[in-house]
Amino acid sequence: MSEREISSGASSGERAGGDASAGAKAGGVTRREVLTGAVAGLAACALGLGVADKRLLPAMGKADSSRLYDYIYKSGVKSQCIDFMVQNMSDTGYLTFGSSEFFISQKLVPTCPQTVFGESCCGVDMTYIGEAFDQCLWQAIAAGAYGDKVDRDKCAIVVSPQWFFRNNGNQAAFPSVFSYELYRAFCRNPQIQQTTRDYVRLRVKALGISDSVIEAANDDTPLDTINDLVMHEKELTKLRTKIEDMVSIAPKKSLTRQVGTPTGEPDWTALLQQADSDGAAACTNNSYGIYDDYWNRNSKYNSEYKQVFSRSEPEYEDFTYFLEVCREVGMQPLVIILPVHGTWYDKEEVSSDERQTYYARIRKISDNAGATYADFSSCEYEKYFLCDTVHPGWRGWVRIEQAFYHFINGVDDDFLGGWNYGSTTGTGLTTLLDDTSSSADSSSTTNSGSTAATTA
């Protein structure tokens, strides 16, 4: 029975009373008592089904300990399995909120966190929370859902510039990524203040989530409590049917990880050298440092053309509330500020001033919230920082990992700024500009030679 059916049944029951007063009794029992009894019966039925179901499907508890679950990217499943993730995340895992960058695998980018952190024993892991199209409101809900269930108080969020494209990026996709389980857990976190709850509730409604779902998650009335119970059991059942598949795709722990001997801080210099080599091998058909397959499929796709970052006020407000949720639940966030792809955005006529204004606004919101940030805005022209026009690549992940590792360990880092660090001093390379210039010079020389040969 759906929540609408339950609500409809209650309304029919109330209408059946006709003109009788609310206090009228039938056989000495009030209609309220009848309704309460019916509600209790439905609850018992739902709970009974839930108990029976738990004997048939995998539970949300501990899974195969020979595998690593922090780096799974399982769309629509992993992040919603709150109890499963809390119980199976690494002992050195820190919640890392983000979106489609977590889809970038070690097959494409061998220097991604799954390799650098996951296959070592350096004392730090990134526990991925999020998937494609998850933006700031989703992240705020997830932070509230997980915030009172994890022991480690540091976390991170990878902020994508595309969330702040005109008209709030892909906010229209929110209903497709909305998680009842996450929102329900958010609503039940006693650490979250009422003003924050009210803001999130209004935003969820504005982005297309129905009143019945919102009311159920908030337990507004006794009927909503029953609706919640039905919806919760339905969601849990659906998620638990996918746990075995999720476990099966979790990577096996490396031998180093199995042995457990601390490996110390990663060799960042060696990793950057490897990043350059891996990036060069993957990017052979363009001068933008974009991997070949992506270039073949998307080089004519220009969603960035003349984009602006100044027409997304709701998204900036959602970002502000993500940081507020972190504060209320006692988490210290690291805001990872990704750069845009400098030469690509130049081609797409997105001005440098427009881009710098965006970066400055993210820094200002972070400063106002007392948050630390890893600011990579100076890396717009660093070849292989991104692997396409959007996602961190070979050098980018190494830069991010180094800053994250230092943040977790309270160590200074050139790219760390904001709370407890002050201004950043890190500066990215300009290798994309150098390559573009070289390509232009080569093209000019070739054209001049061709002209000269023709003239001769």
The beta-carbon contacts of 295-299 under 8 Å, at least 24 apart in sequence, are: 298/388, 298/389
Q: What is the pLDDT of residues 82-141, one digit of tens each?
A: 999 999 999 999 999 999 999 999 999 999 999 999 999 999 999 999 999 999 999 999
Fold of 61-177+253-456: Rossmann fold (3.40.50)
Residue-level pLDDT at 37: 52
Domain ranges of the chain: 3-54, 61-177+253-456
Residue-level pLDDT at 97: 98
Percent of the chain with pLDDT over 70: 83
Q: What is the pLDDT of residues 202-220, one digit of tens each?
A: 999 999 999 999 999 999 9
Residue-level pLDDT at 22: 37
The number of helix segments (H) and strand segments (E) in the chain equals 19, 8
Q: Residue 58, Cβ neighbours under 10 Å: how many? A: 17
Mean pLDDT along residues 314-332: 98
Residue-level pLDDT at 435: 74
Residue 6 pLDDT level (bands cut at 50, 70, 90): very low
Mean pLDDT along residues 176-195: 98
Residue 47 pLDDT level (bands cut at 50, 70, 90): low
Beta partners for residue 30, in sequence order: 25
Residue-level pLDDT at 41: 56
Range from 88-97, 318-327, 443-452 carrying the lowest mean pLDDT: 443-452
Beta partners for residue 417, in sequence order: 373
C-alpha 284/C-alpha 375 separation (Å) is 29
Percent of the chain with pLDDT over 90: 81
Give the 3-state DSSP-derived string for 272-317, with helices as H, strands as E and coil as C.
Answer: HHHHHHHHHHHCCCCCCCCCHHHHHHHCCCCCCCCCCCCCCHHHHH
Q: Nearest Cα to 391, choosing from 291, 323, 310, 245?
A: 291
User: Max Cα separation, the chain?
Assistant: 113
- Residue 279 scores a pLDDT above 90: yes
CB-based contacts of 351, cutoff 8 Å, min separation 6: none
Mean pLDDT taken over the chain? 88
Q: What burial letters (b/e) apply to 348-367, b meaning 16+ CB within 10 Å?
A: bebeeebbeebbebbbebbe
Q: What angle do CA 189, 85, 105 make, to 5 degrees?
A: 130
Both structure tokens of 5:
């059916």
